[in-house]
Amino acid sequence: MYLVTRVLLFVPQVLVILTIVFVLMRVAPGDPVTVALGGQRSPEQLAELRAAAGYDRPVIVQYGEYLSGILRFDLGTTIVDSRPVTQIFAVNGGATLTLTLAAFLVALLIGLPLGLLAGRYRDTGLDASLRVFGILTYAAPVFFLGLLLQLAFARGLGWLPSSSQASPIVLARVPSETNIFLLDALLAGDTEAFWNGLEHLILPAVTLGLLLSGVFLRIVRINLIQTLRSDYVEAARARGIRERRVVVQHAFRNAMVPFVTILGLQVALLLGGAILTEQTFNWNGIGSQLVRYLDSRDYVAVQGIITLIALVVVTASLLIDIINAIIDPRVRY
Amino acid sequence: MRRRRFTAAAALAAAGALVLAACGGDDDEDPGDSGNGAENGAEGDGGDPATDLPVILGTTDSVTNVDPAGAYDKPSWNIAYNMYQRLLAVPLGETEPQPDAAESCDWDDDTTYTCTLKSGQMFSDGTEMTAENVVHSVDRQLAIEHESGGWELLSGIESVEATDDSTVVFHLAEPDATFPFLLTTAAASIVPLDFPADQLQPNDQVFGSGPYTVESFDPTQQIQLGVNPNYAGDRPINNSGVVLQFYQQESALKQAIEEGEVMIAYRSLSVTDIADLEDNGAERGVDVVVGEGTEINYMVFQVGREPFDEPAVRQAIAQIIDREAIAESVYRGTVTPLYGPVPEGVAGHVPTFQDRYGEPDVEAAEQLLADAGVDTPVAFDLWWMPDRYGAEIADMYGEIERQLEDTGLFDVTLEQLSWAQYSTTFSDGSMDAFDLGWFPDHPDPSNYIAPFYHSERNFLNYDYNNEQMDELIDVILTDTDQDARIQAVEQASEIVAEDVPIIQLWQRDQIAAVRQGVTGVEETLDPSFIFYYNVVSGVAE
């Protein structure tokens, strides 16, 4: 019953988000065509383009078309370069997927063990240091952290490249089959290109991953502390089970249940951070395209990209809720 | 338990891979080579390493369309100049049109222009270029009438016909001495008959008869150009292709050139970054190359109403503005003060403002206003836009405001608008004075006079009206005697300095950052404003 209710709630949730996106784009002054192309076209051409895009119709009609377009997975065509918005996702989505997955991995590798340590050694110097680390990584603006890492590891030490998914000459020689560069390099059997791509991935992934790791660290820590106070943990200790096993196998495992719950919320943080990270590292993903179209005032593209990002976040949230319900039966009651 | 171990192992493997990737580079390598240093040699076939390699050019420019019927912007046109031939072209370092795909071109009479094609000019698909291709190229430009507006350059053509396979005849609606220059623009690129007559060819399917052909097209990340194996023109090709890598931020472009990810950074580096590279670039393997530029920036006055309907007010401003200070303090020497409508490097350039007003002189300005009975301070709004001609524009107008107000003669209110609104507002007469910039279509001086100062045919709609100027513009546009045209340009420049409907502020040098070992860039940064990729070669050190 919980799952059915949750899935049914998905529909109004999506509708509210889509409506907000639509209204926000219409609140902006001027119609999208004039804003994007004003000054570059004659008034007659602008009128033609407005009519062709349907902006001369009543707002409610435009809203209906917007919703029906989404049902058909048609998010419109960009004004400045006539690209279907769905093509932006097909071409640039792979880069964002690569970045967010790598960042998520970095966040897990940093946040989970450090959270475990902070919870286990609560109120010690180690705990205090890790909590400061968690707050700093969460609070530090992504672009600032990215610039610091670029300065240190690219400019200063010269260990890593500072921007793009791969060196231009490498990008040029790897045929784009999946639009996921690392996968394309493997499919092409080009291990040198694969390593080159990994080199380029490190700084952006660490930058974005650090942002998320602070959140993970703090959540794992607090949940572990609460779990360690539980009766069953005390019982385990009373039975003489070693502390390390109590913490890692019993307490940590249960502390992960609420952690899974908040993962859904972190998708939004991850994608929001990805926009800034992509901009900082010239990463050719959806976030950098969003900024590019914002610069060009192409509201059709912006609306389409925000709509799809919103749908991804809502869908991820739904999936996490379902997974949570499966691994923790209490959620269903 | 087994699954958990596998997950942990996978995570560790991935982490290990990331760490290994970080450590995988050769410690002895230049930091810049972390990406492409070694790979630069991958394309070579054992011949001359300098010419066997592709040129990797980083840019913050945006390319819109590489079908010549679908673009009217410098970045797209630059690719067109390297992909297509035109009947005429302005060769490197020169300012006059010379035959490109044509064997010869000449006037039959004032409105008839005939060109004979060279034989053996081939498109990259192996088909031979004929006069029909020229007719097709012009006809489709005029049929498509793309909103970018490039077709308007050819709108003076009444008809064009191929009288035989190698002869094409243009019939113009009225005499136009600049027509040979118009044939040098990318709008007059010669395309294959395969290109649709009434719509654009998709960007990834374009090809021409120029030195290069598109191999892949992603204007958000990278465009690859390969050498056209059938190219039969005169331009030597010193490399094995071109990779255009796009960057959204100037800072990322600067990092890319410093790290050796790109061989050339061209359009645009910030003034600060250029200054840094000039001072410290050599130790990072980067040289700054400066070429003569013909992009100009200028201030327009609304001459039809107060306070600028009084010429003395405009002249007083011309008397005060210190262009040298702007060029040095705001632009750090990356622009050159411009004292006339036609920039240096273009025929007909005369520094008429300098000749007339000399050094900035507040007392002379005060005298001009007093003689005209103008009450001071003269208040006016001065408009500029932050998103069109570089971030330094804000500082420039701050400096101009300071220069004018420090005299006590002017009370300036700076106003700004984004380009989207600005572009529709500047011509409606609501701004007292406003900033604009200009990229020339071709290096003929008419391009700096006719669109600005003709009483009826200027695009500024600012009520400037001078009969003598109109007559001179007619000479500039229609007289086929080049000396007479240049003389008319010089006279027009003197009128501009006297009437001051517009004050030119600077012309921007073309600046590229180049990895040491790369050659040819200096050669192509000439007033034609075309970056010819074929002259560039070399192995980035």
List of chain B residues whose C-beta atoms are within 8 Å of the C-beta of residue A154: 31, 255, 259
Q: Which of A41, A80, A170 sits opposite B36 (nearest CB)?
A: A170
From first to last of its 333 residues, chain A has per-residue pLDDT tens of 777 888 888 888 888 888 988 888 777 666 666 666 655 556 676 777 777 767 778 888 888 888 888 888 888 888 777 788 998 999 999 999 999 999 999 999 999 899 989 988 888 999 999 999 999 988 889 999 999 999 999 988 989 998 899 999 999 999 989 999 999 999 999 999 999 999 999 999 999 999 899 988 988 898 888 888 888 888 888 888 888 888 887 788 777 777 777 777 788 888 889 999 999 999 999 999 998 888 777 778 888 898 888 888 888 888 888 887 887 777 666
Q: Which of B325, B220, B368, B375 is nearest to A288 (CA)?
A: B220
Whether B155 and chain A come into contact, CB under 8 Å, resolves to no
Whether B76 and chain A come into contact, CB under 8 Å, resolves to no
Mutation pick from A80, A151, A164 vs chain B, by most beta carbons of B within 10 Å, is A164
Identify the band that residue B53 occupies on the pLDDT scale cut at 50, 70 and 90: confident
> Among the CATH numbers 3.90.1750, 3.40.50, 3.40.190, 3.30.70, which is that of B3-62+219-285+516-535?
3.40.190
Q: What is the pLDDT of residue B12?
A: 37
Q: What is the pLDDT of residue A156?
A: 87
CATH 3.10.105.10 in chain B, residue ranges: 293-508
**Interchain proximity B252–A291, CB inside 8 Å:** no
Whether B378 and chain A come into contact, CB under 8 Å, resolves to no
- Long-range contacts for B134-139 (Cβ within 8 Å, ≥24 apart)? B134/B87, B134/B160, B134/B162, B134/B168, B134/B190, B135/B160, B135/B161, B135/B162, B135/B168, B136/B191, B136/B193, B136/B195, B136/B197, B137/B68, B137/B188, B137/B189, B137/B190, B137/B191, B137/B195, B138/B170, B138/B188, B139/B197
Mean pLDDT of chain B: 87
**Interchain proximity B36–A37, CB inside 8 Å:** no
Q: Is the pLDDT of residue B18 over 60?
A: no
List of chain B residues whose C-beta atoms are within 8 Å of the C-beta of residue A170: 35-36, 39
Alpha-carbon distance values, A102 to A61, A163, A212 (Å): 42, 16, 12
Whether B240 and chain A come into contact, CB under 8 Å, resolves to no
User: Quick one: tokens of B18?
Assistant: 């990331």
CATH 3.40.190 in chain B, residue ranges: 3-62+219-285+516-535
Q: Which of A160, A289, A297 sits opposite B22 (nearest CB)?
A: A160
**Interchain proximity B245–A109, CB inside 8 Å:** no
Whether A31 and chain B come into contact, CB under 8 Å, resolves to no
**Interchain proximity A169–B32, CB inside 8 Å:** no
Q: Is the pLDDT of residue B242 over 60?
A: yes
Whether complex ipTM tops 0.85: no
Q: Is the pLDDT of residue B42 over 50?
A: no
**Interchain proximity B15–A109, CB inside 8 Å:** yes
- Could you tell me if B361 and B322 are in contact, meaning their C-beta atoms sit under 8 angstroms apart? no
CATH 3.90.76.10 in chain B, residue ranges: 80-188
Greater model confidence, B188 or A11 = B188
**Interchain proximity A198–B40, CB inside 8 Å:** no
**Interchain proximity B31–A92, CB inside 8 Å:** no
Residue type, A253: R
3-class secondary structure, B519: strand
Whether A94 and chain B come into contact, CB under 8 Å, resolves to no
Q: Which of A174, A173, A185, A198 is nearest to A99 (CA)?
A: A198
- Could you tell me if B162 and B134 are in contact, meaning their C-beta atoms sit under 8 angstroms apart? yes
Mutation pick from A34, A163, A173 vs chain B, by most beta carbons of B within 10 Å, is A163
Q: Is the pLDDT of residue B148 over 80?
A: no
Whether A202 and chain B come into contact, CB under 8 Å, resolves to yes
User: Quick one: tokens of A236?
Assistant: 């385990």
Q: Is the pLDDT of residue B50 over 80?
A: no
Name residue, tokens 């990008």: A171
Mean pLDDT is lowest, of A9-23, B190-204, B235-249, B402-416, for: A9-23
Mutation pick from A169, A213, A256, A290 vs chain B, by most beta carbons of B within 10 Å, is A169
> Which helix (DSSP H) or strand (DSSP E) does residue B518 occupy?
strand B518-519
The alpha carbon of residue B261 is apart from the nearest alpha carbon of chain A, in Å, by 6
**Interchain proximity A172–B243, CB inside 8 Å:** yes
Distance of CA B266 to the CA centre of its chain: 12
CATH code of the region B80-188: 3.90.76.10
Report the alpha-carbon distance of residue B440 to residue B451 in Å, rounded.
Answer: 11
Q: Which of A108, A199, A292 sits opposite B34 (nearest CB)?
A: A199
Q: Which of B32, B454, B369, B66 is nearest to B244 (CA)?
A: B66
- Could you tell me if A181 and A166 are in contact, meaning their C-beta atoms sit under 8 angstroms apart? yes
Q: Is the pLDDT of residue B250 over 70?
A: yes
Q: Which of B11, B148, B423 sits opposite A108 (nearest CB)?
A: B11
**Interchain proximity A35–B249, CB inside 8 Å:** no
Q: Which of A29, A24, A17 is nearest to A67 (CA)?
A: A17
- Could you tell me if B401 and B363 are in contact, meaning their C-beta atoms sit under 8 angstroms apart? no
Whether residue B268 is preceded by a cis peptide bond, meaning omega within 30 degrees of 0, is yes
Domains defined for chain A, CATH in brackets: 92-298+319-332 (1.10.3720.10)
- Long-range contacts for A11-17 (Cβ within 8 Å, ≥24 apart)? A13/A314, A14/A310, A14/A311, A14/A314, A17/A310, A17/A311, A17/A314
Name residue, tokens 């990356």: B334
**Interchain proximity A38–B421, CB inside 8 Å:** yes
Whether A108 and chain B come into contact, CB under 8 Å, resolves to yes
Question: pLDDT digits over B477-486, tens only?
Answer: 998 888 999 9
Name residue, tokens 């509201």: A299
Residue type, B533: Y
Which residue stretches of A81-228 are H helix?
85-120, 125-139, 142-149, 168-173, 181-187, 191-228
**Interchain proximity A171–B148, CB inside 8 Å:** no
The chain B residue lying nearest A42, using CA atoms, is B147
Pairing outcome for strands B378-384 and B433-438: parallel
Whether A177 and chain B come into contact, CB under 8 Å, resolves to no
Identify the band that residue B72 occupies on the pLDDT scale cut at 50, 70 and 90: confident
- Could you tell me if B371 and B324 are in contact, meaning their C-beta atoms sit under 8 angstroms apart? no
Whether A131 and chain B come into contact, CB under 8 Å, resolves to no
Question: pLDDT digits over B370-380, tens only?
Answer: 999 999 999 99
Taking the C-alpha atoms of A71, A77, A78 and A81 in order, what is their torsion angle to the nearest 10 degrees?
Answer: 150
Residue type, A164: S
List of chain A residues whose C-beta atoms are within 8 Å of the C-beta of residue B59: none
Q: Which of A35, A176, A202 sits opposite B22 (nearest CB)?
A: A202
Give percent above pLDDT 90 in chain B.
68
Domain B293-508: which CATH class? alpha beta
Q: What is the pLDDT of residue B2?
A: 39
Whether B119 and chain A come into contact, CB under 8 Å, resolves to no
Whether B427 and chain A come into contact, CB under 8 Å, resolves to no
The chain A residue lying nearest B225, using CA atoms, is A172
Is residue B205 packed enough to be buried (19+ CB in 10 Å), middle (13-18) or exposed (0-12)?
A: exposed
Whether B224 and chain A come into contact, CB under 8 Å, resolves to yes
User: Quick one: tokens of B410?
Assistant: 């002017």
List of chain A residues whose C-beta atoms are within 8 Å of the C-beta of residue B420: 30, 34-36, 38-39, 297
Report the alpha-carbon distance of residue B279 to residue A168 in Å, rounded.
Answer: 26
Enter the pTM of the model. 0.81
The chain A residue lying nearest B248, using CA atoms, is A282
Report the alpha-carbon distance of residue B225 to residue B243 in Å, rounded.
Answer: 6
